[in-house]
Amino acid sequence: MLIESRRGERVGMRYLQQGVGLIEVLIAVLVLSVGILGVAALQITGKQALSDASQRSVATGLARDIAERMRSNPSELESYETTLGGGTITEPSTCRNSNCTTAQLAARDLFEWEQLLDGADETVVIGGVTTNTGGLVNPRACITHTLGKITVAIAWRGTTDQLNPTTSTCGESVTLYDTDNVRRRLLVINTYIATLS
């Protein structure tokens, strides 16, 4: 089949389609590239969400742990009222091989719990420097007690920017969570523990 070109020449159909295949391939490569970039962005977002969910799960377990420690030592609830994180407590005497007072038990509970919070049980040595790899990222914990009502607030550093939570001010005064605390994550658990008279 012959067709007349713009210049008045007679040209076969196959000559008019030269280069069209190359353009189709380039468009297909462009569409594929955009799709691959979308999948990569989805993967990154998924990993960030997984990291935040994992940290929240650890924080929930830690909050429950200290609440149970306090529940087992109700006469010393005031001794548990503190702010922790970053190795703020020095190691007290151990209560494992000897009898302790309730105050000594509370001090030991807080030390062990802060070690869990900071991830001191899981470490790695890189270049001669020991780094905690367990626990939460840049944690701060605040424990308050008012007439048996216990509030455990745990703050840690998230992976993405979000609005600063307003449920508690725990960890806001430290500069660990970027400007305006946009990376601060927060878990607050309230419970009631009856005090012994």
Tell me the C-alpha distance between 79 and 61, whole Å. Answer: 21
Alpha helices in the chain (DSSP H): 13-16, 20-71, 77-80, 102-118
In terms of DSSP bridges, do strands 184-192 and 140-146 run parallel, antiparallel, or are they unpaired? unpaired
Amino acid identity of residue 88, one-letter, is T
> What predicted TM-score, i.e. pTM, was given to this entire model?
0.76
Residue 150 confidence (pLDDT): 93
pLDDT tens digits, residue range 96-112?
A: 777 888 888 999 999 99
pLDDT tens digits, residue range 39-73?
A: 999 999 999 888 889 999 999 999 999 999 999 99
Backbone angles phi, psi at 75, to 5 degrees: -75, -10
pLDDT tens digits, residue range 123-143?
A: 888 898 887 778 888 899 999
Q: Are 85 and 141 in contact (CB under 8 A)?
A: yes
Look at 42 and 2; give whichever has higher pLDDT. Answer: 42
pLDDT tens digits, residue range 136-180?
A: 888 999 999 988 899 999 999 888 888 888 888 888 887 888 888
